Amino acid sequence: MTNTTRRLILAAGLALAAAPAFAAQTAAPKLSAEDQALVDKATAYIQTLGSAKGRFIQTDARGTQTQGTFYLQRPGKARFAYDGPNGLLVVSNGSSVNISDPRLKTFESYPLSRTPLVLLLAREVRLDRGVTITGVRKLADGFSIQAVDAKKETRGRIELNFSSGPDLVGWTVTDAKGAETRVRLVDFEKTSGLDPKLFVLNDPRRRVGKP
């Protein structure tokens, strides 16, 4: 995998399982009643989120920006289509997250349960199970929640950003080396009737009749 491709994948917060582990994880702090209320608010929002679409703007650790279109259909499904010339496709079909790079003619697959996307796409969102909340930050126009995988199967950490509404406005993924990649959602729109084909991504290198 090239550095460019890895940055794109990490940016969407989808493949942290492929990165080396942090040397150590600090113990989770005890949340205040106010912070816990924000976690509960975010959990309730995600749980009631059905289908949505919009645009995303991604900034990697070097300041390079890429953009694309996203679709979400809870539970389990998502699609991130990067604009050219990258043309990268990242698709969750409900059980696995598949990544296709048409320029490099590569295809990779990760279990959804081992990616940070499961925080958003799980049928039952429980931020008190499976993940460890390491902090809650209040922002001028909302709040953010920082989390790591409690089982340490997914490496790195993710910060989910919400408006005061709340609405999901983006996230920041930090890899094992401390490099941050930010994803900002724009034109976020709840919708319905998304085409099921949006969430199907097969290995383009495989052809009928070939193993």
Instruction: Read off the pLDDT of residues 153-165 as tens digits, 9 standing for 90 and up.
Output: 455 678 889 999 8
CA atoms of 88 and 68, how far apart (whole Å): 9
Mean pLDDT taken over the chain = 78
Question: 131-148, pLDDT tens digit by residue?
Answer: 678 889 998 899 999 887
Sign of the C-alpha dihedral, residues 173, 179, 180, 181?
negative
Q: What is the 8-class DSSP label of residue 202?
A: -
CA atoms of 59 and 85, how far apart (whole Å): 16
CA atoms of 37 and 210, how far apart (whole Å): 54
In 3-state terms, what secondary structure has residue 99? strand
Q: How many residues does the chain have?
A: 211
Q: What is the dihedral of CA 167, 170, 176, 177, to 10 degrees?
A: -140
Question: 46-56, pLDDT tens digit by residue?
Answer: 888 899 999 99
* Alpha helices, H only, the chain: 3-11, 33-48, 118-121
Highest mean pLDDT among 27-31, 167-171, 201-205: 167-171
Query: What is the per-residue pLDDT for 129?
Result: 59
Question: Is the domain defined by 3-13+32-199 classed in CATH 1.10.569.10?
Answer: no
pLDDT above 80: residue 177: no
Average pLDDT (99-103) is: 84
In 3-state terms, what secondary structure has residue 209? coil
Q: Amino acid letter at 113?
A: S
Give the pTM.
0.80
Q: What residue spans define the domains of the chain?
A: 3-13+32-199
